[in-house]
C-alpha cells in the first residue's frame, strides 16, 4: 500500500460555489487540481480550458488567477450552474455545452487544459443521465480519461500543459503511456491520499473483487497527470 501525502490546503481564492442535484460538488480532487494549476503558474495572459467543468469551481479559480477561461461540460445542469457561479463570483468565464473539445471553434488552442473527469470504476453501462454521470466511468474508470488523453494534444499550444486528476485505480501509467504516444511529455506530478467518498464506499466489495482496490486499503489515492506539448 503506497503512502502519499494528504491533499494540499485549499489555495487562496478557490472560493465556494453553488451546486444543484446532479452536478458534482467540489471535493478533494478539485482541491488537488487547483493546487496543480497554481504550481503551474496560471496567470494573466494565459488561456485556460476547463473540460468537464461541473460547478465551474476550477474555471473560476483560473479566472481569479487572471487567465482567460473557457469551460465546457456535456451536462445541461452543469453548464447552467457554472454560468450562475461565474455571475455570482463576478468572473468572466465562457461556458459552453458539449462533449470534450467539440464545442470549440476549429483550431482553437490553449496554454493550459484542466480536467477533473468522471473516473470511478462502475459496473454496468455508462449512465446517460442522472447524478452518476458525474463520476461513473466504465469498468476500469477510463471511459472518459482515455478520450481526454486522445483529445488533449489537439487543443494544446506549443508548450501548453494538460493537468488531469483521477484515481490511482484508473492506472495512471496507462494515462502517461497514451499521452506520451500522442507526442506529449507526460508524468505524474502530484499524489494525495483521501478518505473514501460515498460512491467508492458503496462499491468497495466490487472494486476489491476486480482487483482495483486492495483489501488493506483504507483510503483512496488521487493523482495529477501533467502532460506538456513540446
**Least-confidence region, from 3-12, 139-148, 193-202, 208-217:** 3-12
- pLDDT confidence of residue 5: 56
pLDDT above 80 for 226: yes
Going through 81-147 in order, the beta strands assigned E by DSSP cover 93-97, 110-115
Average pLDDT of the chain is 91
- pLDDT confidence of residue 3: 43
Residues 83 and 53: their CA atoms lie apart, in Å, by 10
**3 state DSSP class of 181:** helix
- pLDDT confidence of residue 117: 95
Query: Which pTM does this prediction carry?
Result: 0.92
Least Cα distance to 110 among 145, 161, 151 occurs for: 161
- pLDDT digit string, tens, across residues 162-219: 999 999 999 999 999 999 999 999 999 999 999 998 999 999 999 999 999 988 888 9
- pLDDT confidence of residue 216: 87
Residues 162 and 189: their CA atoms lie apart, in Å, by 11
- pLDDT digit string, tens, across residues 71-94: 999 999 999 999 999 999 999 999
Amino acid at each position: 500500500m503506497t503512502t502519499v501525502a494528504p491533499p494540499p490546503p485549499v489555495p487562496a481564492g478557490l472560493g465556494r460555489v453553488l451546486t444543484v442535484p446532479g452536478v458534482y460538488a467540489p471535493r478533494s480532487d478539485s482541491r488537488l487540481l487547483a493546487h496543480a494549476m497554481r504550481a503551474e503558474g496560471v496567470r494573466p495572459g494565459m488561456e485556460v480550458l476547463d473540460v468537464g467543468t461541473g460547478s465551474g469551481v476550477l474555471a473560476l479559480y483560473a479566472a481569479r488567477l487572471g487567465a482567460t477561461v473557457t469551460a465546457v461540460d456535456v451536462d445541461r445542469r452543469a453548464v447552467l450552474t457554472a454560468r450562475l457561479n461565474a455571475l455570482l463570483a463576478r468572473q468572466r468565464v465562457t461556458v459552453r455545452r458539449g462533449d470534450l473539445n467539440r464545442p470549440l471553434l476549429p483550431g482553437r488552442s490553449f496554454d493550459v487544459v484542466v480536467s477533473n473527469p468522471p473516473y470511478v470504476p462502475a459496473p454496468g453501462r455508462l449512465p446517460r443521465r442522472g447524478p452518476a454521470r458525474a463520476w461513473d466511468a466504465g469498468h476500469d474508470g477510463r471511459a472518459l480519461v482515455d478520450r481526454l488523453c486522445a483529445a488533449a494534444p489537439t487543443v494544446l499550444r506549443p508548450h501548453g500543459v494538460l493537468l488531469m486528476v483521477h484515481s490511482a485505480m484508473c492506472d495512471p501509467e496507462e494515462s502517461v503511456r497514451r499521452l506520451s504516444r500522442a507526442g506529449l511529455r507526460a508524468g505524474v506530478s502530484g499524489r494525495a491520499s483521501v478518505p473514501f467518498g460515498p460512491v467508492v464506499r458503496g462499491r468497495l466489495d466490487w472494486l476489491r473483487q476486480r482487483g482495483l482496490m486492495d483489501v488493506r486499503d483504507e483510503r483512496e489515492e488521487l493523482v495529477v497527470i501533467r502532460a506538456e506539448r513540446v
